[in-house]
Amino acid sequence: MARTKLYAGIYVVLFVLATVQALVEGVESIDYWTAFGIIIVLSFAKAIVVAAYYQHLRWEPRSVSYLMVGGLFVALALTTAAAYSIL
């Protein structure tokens, strides 16, 4: 039962982060780079939560976690580079 409560709580956190992200995308008074920065931070937070709990990295050896974090930084770099091509 404790696992169910944990995963339900994680789902709520992810839902709130996704809702905030959608609201930021809809606000027209925020300039592009501010909205982009907020969305990247929220996406980064969601990716960490998903990797830590749903992919069970919390219970894996640290070397596996470091490998996943490295991949996350590469994805962040590619997303940033793609943002420059949109402009």
Segment 10-59, tens digit of pLDDT: 999 999 999 999 999 888 888 888 998 999 899 989 988 887 777 776 77
Q: How many domains are there within the chain?
A: 1
Spatial distance between the Cα atoms of 64 and 84, rounded to a whole number of angstroms: 31
* Lowest mean pLDDT segment, chosen from 4-13, 38-47, 62-71: 62-71
Are 36 and 82 in contact, with CB atoms under 8 Å apart? no
3-state secondary structure of 31: coil
Q: What is the DSSP letter of 50?
A: I
Domain that holds residue 54: 2-86
Counted residue by residue, the chain has a size of 87
Confidence of residue 87 (pLDDT cuts 50, 70, 90): low
